[in-house]
Chain A
Amino acid sequence: MSRFKLILDISKTHLVSKFKQTAVAALGVTFGIGAYIIMMSFMTGLNGLLDGLVLNRTPHVQVYNKTDPTVVQPIHRYRADSSDAHYIHSIKPKVRLERIHNAIPILAELKQQDKVMGATPQATCKVFYLAGSNKLNGIVNGIEVDEEIRLFNFKDYIVEGDVTGIKRRKNSILLGAGIAKKLSLQVGDRVQVMSTSGATFSLIIAGLYQSGLAEVDDVQSFVDLKMAQQILGAGSNYISRIHVKLEDIEEAVPMSKTIKDLYDVEALDIKTANAQFDTGSDIRTMISYAVSITLLIVAGFGIYNILNMFIYEKMNDIAILKATGFTGSDVKWIFITQAMFIGLIGGALGIVLGYGVSVLIDNTPFETEALPTVTTFPINYDPAFYIMGVVFAVVSTFMAGYLPARKAQKIDPVEIIRGQ
């Protein structure tokens, strides 16, 4: 019989004879690992869902006109070679149009780029929504609806009516759900839209738009690009924003810089636009790690305690084993093996528990107005969590078992035998 088999055999006999304590210690590990898997699956699932929401609706790069004051003022150019310092107080940006200059060629060029999945033009106009004597101010965006659907999942946010209605009939509108509610309007009704220049347009409501953010849904509506240009009283080259979606989101920062350098426009990448959002995800992940690690440490202390007790109860056994020729290292490994047994069994059950509860959460209905596309709680079944769980179980039980086992290794059999 090999040394390993002999140690395993002795450990097994010890564990079986102390079934209750073994089970309690293993359950501690089970709950620790189970909770870890559940927390991580749920938290990262939630992060993924929220990321998805933002990524779906936010363009990777937004292109719009510059409104910042010019950095290089005329005086700098005129006296460029002088060593004098020039102070100019109270610089104001000059009046600029909201439209992007040369938008149509820029759009065409962007669309041709390999890294670009697509780009959509938008024309934004400030309006009043009129119904009877009610008057709400808001914003109407002119869009190319097919491209918005393809690139930004626009369809997911139309909760009633037909999304392509605005393309088929020019004088129709996808009205913000909050506006519809305030004005008591429904799909098929008409809404009067008044432009800042005072012209009014009577539009048929083709559908209702709901993003989940009340302050957006209370002001924002969508019409076809041409309709928006008509409300603005502008030509077909009036485009105030271009939304770009890239093949790879990681390209957003360099791409926005290239656009800025190449054209006389401002470009905002998604990383900068959603910096706070990333922080939120990070904090959620950190909290789940903190809670999981706490649970595992508690489970580790449970094992440590029970193993200490085992060793106390097994003093005589240890003395006999040593008196009959087992080495201190044999004895140490007998107890480490017991700890690892507890860890492995507890860890395996923890994985079953974690998976079971994850499936349960995954099938729990979760419906909220804020997230129209979500019907159940999100769960991330990443196998990495399960692997990590087992690794955690083995490592933590090894460490929890090691200290008491070291104590057993050092026990002097003479003291035990004399003590009788």
Chain B
Amino acid sequence: MEAILETKNINKYFMQPVKFHVLKDISIAINRGEFVSIMGKSGCGKSTLLYILSTMDTAYEGELYIEGELMSTKTRNDLARIRNEKIGFVFQFHYLLPEFTVLKNVMLPALKLGRESEAVIKAKAMNKLAILGVEEQAHKKASRISGGQKQRVSIARALINDPKIIMGDEPTGNLDSKNSENVFNILRDLSDQFGLSLLVVTHDTEFAKKTDRIIEMGDGMVF
């Protein structure tokens, strides 16, 4: 099995307000096409780990490999490029640019990547919105749609550059049970139909049970 993402002995400390060892010797691997969930008590370091895995946080010790490439030797601009191209991120809160249309929100990462023409990107974005069942919202402003819809739009955005892996930090944590079931089913489908690799932090045991593998965390360590 080929690892799309792998860590070796990742340690992280917070210095403020007191020195605090938040992640301890984290060594995990996510394989291509795998749907993995991370579970653990609140405050055990799940979000912190995810920020490191997503390359946004660079203040850690240890090694992070994405598609076999070591991340700690990369410059900030290289990392931005890698996030843009290979990683889709879904946040707990619906992080969309409120003044832009839904469609534009989905298009922006692809426009930044600049691999295709604007017309192609637009068609692709419409297609992703259709996969998530929110294509009728495409021309509305992002601030004018409901919470569940926003979360689906941000999944569409995460998909736009056909990333190697999608990460989610409690993507259903802020939704009612109906909407969260909906979003979970979509993620499950993406994994089954398109062979997407997924790494999702969740509190929801029901949710986690339906994933391929559960990583249990506690007190900064992986059990």
Could you list which residues of chain A lie within 8 angstroms of chain B, going by C-beta atoms?
Answer: 1-3, 6, 10, 13-14, 16-17, 316-317, 319-330, 413-414, 417-418, 420
Contact = CB atoms under 8 A, between A and B. Distances in A.
Contacts of A330: 112
B175 to A, nearest CB: 15
Given A1-B114, A3-B114, A327 B91 contact: no
B80 interface: yes
Contacts of B83: 323-325
A325 B118 contact: no
A326 B80 contact: yes
B80 A317 contact: no
Contacts of B166: none
Output the residue of A1, A2, A316, A323 with the most chain B CB within 10 A.
A323
Interface string B86-99: 00010111011111
Contacts of B114: 1-3, 6
A326 B113 CA distance: 9
A409 to B, nearest CB: 10
Nearest to A413: B56
Contact of B112 (A14, A17, A324, A414): A324
Nearest to B174: A420
A14 B99 contact: yes
B41 interface: no
B210 interface: no
B56 A322 contact: yes
B13 interface: no
Contacts of A324: 83-84, 89, 108-109, 112, 157
Interface in B21-68: 47, 51, 54, 56-57
A325 B95 contact: no
Nearest to B121: A1
A414 B51 contact: yes
B12 to A, nearest CB: 11
Interface string B69-111: 0000000110011011100010111011111100010001101
A328 B76 CA distance: 8
Contacts of B57: 414
A316 B80 CA distance: 17
A17 B99 contact: yes
Contacts of B80: 322, 325-328
A267 to B, nearest CB: 72
Contacts of B54: 323
8 contacts: A6-B112, A17-B99, A320-B95, A324-B109, A326-B80, A328-B80, A330-B112, A420-B92
A420 B77 CA distance: 25
Nearest to B92: A420
Output the residue of A10, A319, A329 with the most chain B CB within 10 A.
A10
A420 B85 contact: no
Contact of A420 (B93, B109, B113): B93
A10 B93 CA distance: 22
A56 B83 CA distance: 74
Given A1-B114, A3-B114, A325-B84, 18 more contacts: A2-B114, A6-B114, A13-B104, A316-B95, A320-B95, A320-B97, A321-B97, A321-B108, A325-B81, A325-B85, A325-B109, A326-B112, A327-B80, A328-B80, A329-B77, A414-B57, A417-B56, A418-B47
Contacts of B99: 13-14, 16-17
Nearest to B109: A324
Contacts of A328: 76, 80
B149 to A, nearest CB: 17
Contact of A417 (B76, B91, B97, B112): B91
B48 to A, nearest CB: 8
Nearest to B89: A323
A196 B61 CA distance: 108
Interface string B118-158: 10000000000000000000000000000000000000010
Nearest to A328: B76
Contacts of B97: 317, 320-321
A123 B99 CA distance: 84
B75 to A, nearest CB: 10
A326 B114 CA distance: 12
A6 B89 contact: no
5 shortest interchain CB distances as A-B pairs? A325-B84, A17-B99, A327-B80, A324-B109, A325-B83
